[in-house]
Amino acid sequence: MRRVKREILDPDGSSRGFYSEDNRVNDLTGREWVFWTRSVITKPYPPKMQHALRNQHGGQKPPDLCADLLRVFTKEGQVILDPFMGVGGTLLGASLCGRRAVGIEVSPKWIGIYREVCAREGMAAQETIEADAREALGAMSGRSFDCVLTDVPYWKMDTASRSRGTFKRVGGEAKPVRASKLSAFRPEEYASKGEWLEQMAGIFQQAAALLRPAGYLLSFIGDMYRDNEYHCLSAELAEMLRRIPGLVWKANLVWYDVSKKLHLYGYQYSYIPSMIHQNILVFRKENAG
């Protein structure tokens, strides 16, 4: 059978390439699809969309990056679930690219900031649910989502982050490392890494059950250097996700965050990396689960 392809033009008349009517995954042209098969995202995402307000969270993701991911893994009009919405990177991204989204967040403060961002930007807010994801997802049976795009919380790491000692910033004065900004997630964070993984397993299993067949599940996850060693949290989370029936691991995208500063950690005594990337784990629901 002959495939129907049509050229897609940008508003300025330039060609985006050819879109195939057979494309069941997204609305990208072939040329755009090839571009987004890159496993490393180096595109810069300068602060915008009330960044100063959203920055109170400390773990917020660029809405434009979320929109780019949603353009790759969904079609216009489809519905996305984010069980850990924070100040709404996923929800804002969904609005930017004409998708619908439902966000769950346990902290009313972060939902309030998301709503304030929408008001200031003149955007309609997406659906938000203020609740613990464990309870909210349990009450959502019967709903179905085309995609899950989320960004996991962590566990209490204040003690660990302080134990890293005193380091010097490149070109700056020696000063102690602040407690991790991730501590801003309190009191929603988990007591230990073990408890964290266990809770994540339960919540992702619930989210995967609401994902339609052939839908994609994506999660941001940063690796860490803590307590004198590298913690490949992306591998640990991915291994857990692989055990959820029906989910098949498709990619580990690396987002190179150009806004991150380099540090002189460990100079002259031990190699310590400057963490300037986040992983985006990509899973697809393929079997009955």
Q: Which is nearer to ligand SAM, 127 or 286 (CB)?
A: 127
Q: Which is nearer to ligand SAM, 17 or 58 (CB)?
A: 58
Q: How far is the CB of 93 from ligand SAM (least distance, A)?
A: 9
Q: Which region, judged by CB under 6 A, interacts with ligand SAM, from 101-109, 138-146, 224-232, 234-242?
A: 101-109
Q: List beta partners, residue 28.
A: none
Give the separation between CA 30 and CA 173, rounded to whole angstroms. Answer: 50
Report yes or no: 221 and 234 within 8 Å, Cβ to Cβ: yes
Grouping H, G, I as helix, E, B as strand and the rest as coil, residue 154 is coil
Report yes or no: 145 and 213 within 8 Å, Cβ to Cβ: no
Q: How far is the CB of 17 from ligand SAM (least distance, A)?
A: 30
Among 104, 111, 200, 247, binds ligand SAM (CB under 6 A): 104
User: Which residues from 53-92 bind ligand SAM, rule CB under 6 A?
Assistant: 57, 59-61, 84, 86-89
Strands 40-41 and 247-256, how do they pair? parallel
Among 65, 67, 106, 247, binds ligand SAM (CB under 6 A): 106
End-to-end CA distance of the chain, in Å? 33
Q: What is the DSSP letter of 2?
A: P
Region label for 125, one of left (φ > 0), alpha (ψ between -120 and 50) or beta (otherwise): beta
Among 27, 64, 68, 105, binds ligand SAM (CB under 6 A): 105
Structure tokens at 75: 């079609």
- Taking residues 222 to 261 in sequence order and writing x for each that binds ligand SAM by CB under 6 A, - otherwise, the string is ----------------------------------------
User: Which residues from 148-207 bind ligand SAM, rule CB under 6 A?
Assistant: 151, 153, 185, 188
Q: Which of 233, 240, 242, 227 is nearest to 284 (CA)?
A: 242
Give the separation between CA 76 and CA 168, rounded to whole angstroms. Answer: 47
Among 19, 110, 204, 265, binds ligand SAM (CB under 6 A): 110
Q: How far is the CB of 190 from ligand SAM (least distance, A)?
A: 8
**Chain centre distance of CA 240:** 17
Among 116, 132, 223, 236, binds ligand SAM (CB under 6 A): 132
Q: Is 130 in the site for ligand SAM (CB under 6 A)?
A: no
Contact residues for ligand SAM, defined by CB under 6 A: 57, 59-61, 84, 86-89, 104-107, 110, 132-134, 151, 153, 185, 188
